[in-house]
Chain A
Amino acid sequence: MKPLLLLLSVISLCSATAEEVVLHRIHSAKGEPWVDYRVERAELEKIPKWEPKPGSKAPLGRDQAVEIAKRTASAAGVGEKAEMAVTLETTNRYEKDILKQLPEDGCLWFYLVEFLEKDREPVFVVITMSGAVARPVSGGK
């Protein structure tokens, strides 16, 4: 998992700035450190506040998000035939410390795209509604 995480981090490093915030956190069930997905605050603020409601189209469509995620995953060595799961979600309501640092006016909904391959750890790619790829950073336990 670690080399992959490093590779994904490097891929998204070019977009890293001091003004990064954690958008999403994935906890490991195996007692390994959690992984934070960090994005520039400006990327979240770029898109006005949006919430899924009937008749309200998402700023970024599922297909666009998948395309971006596939490019990122492919650069990280994920095969084309990997099984994929796509989730539209927002920052976990119980992660109070994460919620505190997020901008009030930005769009906090994102796509989490999961790539599953046999005999391999799943690869997660987090895409903001502005189309930015969040940078995975290994956190605490």
Chain B
Amino acid sequence: MKWLRFVAILGLCFAPVMAESTVITGVRTWHMTDGKARRLRLIQLSPDGKFAYFHDGKSKGQIPPVAIDLLVPEERTLLEGLHAGTVTLCKVKGLSMLPNMPTGKVPEIVETLQAGETREWKHANGKSIQARLVNLTDDDVSLLIGDTISLVALTDLSEADRKHLETVKGGNAALVGAGPIEIVHYGWDGGPSHTASVEAERFAALAELGSGFEKVLETALKAAEEKLPEGKWEFLSLREYTCHRPHQVKADANLPLLYEASFVLEPAGVRAAREVWPLTVTPSKWPGDPMLVLHLTADGEILKVDPAKR
């Protein structure tokens, strides 16, 4: 039995070393011993561990260092753990950890965010939603559903969700741009240009598809046949190319194949095409024959385009 005792003692000696450190975002409501509280993001500790540097989440929001002795005992212990190395501050690139993430419909903010993949989140009350993580703090998460951000307390999430968040904090979950990904930016010389975008999940799905050349050709020709007057248009070409790499997409991620179907139009064809695809017909001052371009994906979707932002 002696060797068993030896192993047990050895285990006890190494237990603190082997234990995984707790990862925190450092974003929470910090409480002072004088009763004041403020929602801040912990940036770092001073080298001696006696002072904490915080940010309030606004520009130029770094506030003077705070002596950790002024914090309530529970939070002081946490910071002592951070200094000792048993607690780690999360530093995942791209993961938003704002003290005060807005909620509701905020498309202008969503466009700037990185988000996790869409997954099912379970509320403690049994309800579940399909959403993407857009902000994480030590006591809540901001979830994106469509273009709406909702705040959910960590205590209201299921065990599986909390485990997932640990993975996120460990930097082991993919984060991509939360807003749509621009995949087409097309312009006529001297004329208006247009863009087409898809959601990140659609982008990833398209990147997994092989060539859809024949299917795309069929779709483009059928669309022209249905929408344009007979004999007033002529199919010119179908070009298959690899989408440029958008900035939100990782350097090693697959890229989708995209398609450009071009048609030459007679005046009656131009009028009809402008009704259906107003942004992808050559402008009226175009020097050559009027043309129509349709942008398609490998699964045969004709992409909806928007005017390009200048």
A interface residues with partner B (beta carbon < 8 Å): 51-55, 57-58, 61-63, 66, 83-90, 93
Contacts and interface: CB of A to CB of B under 8 A. Distances in A.
Given A62-B211, A62-B213, A83-B242, A88 B218 contact: no
A88 B217 contact: yes
B119 interface: no
Contacts of A61: 213-214
Given A83-B242, A85-B241, A87-B238, 13 more contacts: A52-B221, A52-B235, A53-B221, A54-B225, A55-B218, A58-B217, A63-B211, A85-B239, A85-B242, A86-B241, A87-B239, A87-B240, A89-B238
A52 B211 contact: no
A57 B200 CA distance: 33
B128 interface: no
A114 B236 CA distance: 18
Contacts of A90: 236-237
B240 A57 contact: no
Contact of A85 (B217, B235, B240): B240
Interface string B207-246: 0000101100110011001000000000111111110000
Interface residues of B, number: 17
Nearest to B213: A62
A89 B240 contact: no
A86 B221 contact: no
Contacts of B213: 61-63, 86, 88
A88 B222 contact: no
Contact of A57 (B214, B236, B242, B264): B214
A28 B259 CA distance: 24
A114 B179 CA distance: 32
Contacts of A84: 242
B214 A87 contact: no
A86 B240 CA distance: 5
A51 B240 CA distance: 18
A54 B222 contact: yes
Given A52-B221, A54-B221, A54-B222, A88 B211 contact: no
Given A52-B217, A88-B217, A62 B240 contact: yes
29 contacts: A52-B235, A52-B238, A54-B218, A54-B221, A54-B222, A54-B225, A58-B214, A58-B217, A62-B211, A62-B213, A62-B214, A83-B242, A84-B242, A85-B239, A85-B242, A86-B211, A86-B239, A86-B241, A87-B237, A87-B238, A87-B239, A88-B213, A88-B217, A88-B237, A88-B238, A89-B236, A90-B236, A90-B237, A93-B264
Contacts of B214: 57-58, 61-62
B229 to A, nearest CB: 16
Nearest to A62: B213
Contacts of B221: 52-54
A88 B235 CA distance: 10
Contacts of A89: 236-238
Interface centre among A55, A84, A88, by most chain B C-beta atoms within 10 angstroms, is: A88
Contacts of B225: 54
A5 to B, nearest CB: 22
A40 to B, nearest CB: 23
A86 B239 CA distance: 6
Interface centre among A63, A66, A84, A87, by most chain B C-beta atoms within 10 angstroms, is: A87
A105 B221 CA distance: 23
Contacts of B238: 52, 87-89
Nearest to B239: A87
A83 B242 CA distance: 8
Contacts of A66: 211
Nearest to A63: B211
Contacts of A52: 217, 221, 235, 238
A52 B261 CA distance: 12
Nearest to A84: B242
Contacts of A53: 221
